[in-house]
Amino acid sequence: MNIVGARVDERLVHGQVANLWTPNLQVERIIVLDEKAAQDDIQKSGLRMATPMTTRLSVLPTEVAADHLKKNRYGNQRLFLVAKRPDKFLDLLNLGVDLNTINVGNMSKQDDTTELTKQVNINADEAQTFREIANKGVKLIAQLNPSVDARDLMKLIDEKMK
Per-domain boundaries in the chain: 3-160
Q: Alpha-carbon torsion 141, 70, 27, 108, what sign?
A: negative
pLDDT per residue as tens, the chain (162 positions):
799 999 999 999 998 999 999 999 999 999 999 999 999 999 999 999 999 999 999 999 999 999 999 999 999 999 999 999 999 999 999 999 999 999 999 999 999 999 999 999 999 999 999 999 999 999 999 999 999 999 999 999 999 997
Gap between the Cα atoms of 83 and 158, Å rounded: 23
Gap between the Cα atoms of 103 and 7, Å rounded: 5
Gap between the Cα atoms of 132 and 129, Å rounded: 5
User: Please, is 12 exposed, middle or buried when counting C-beta atoms within 10 Å of its C-beta (0-12, 13-18, 19+)?
Assistant: buried
- Nearest CA among 162, 100, 87 for reference residue 129: 87
- Nearest CA among 83, 122, 121 for reference residue 103: 83
Those residues whose C-beta lies under 8 Å from the C-beta of residue 117, and which sit 6 or more positions away, are 142, 144, 151, 156
Supply the pLDDT for residue 62.
Answer: 98
The one-character DSSP state at 146 is: T
Class of 3-160 in CATH: alpha beta
Q: What is the pTM of this model?
A: 0.96
Supply the pLDDT for residue 115.
Answer: 96
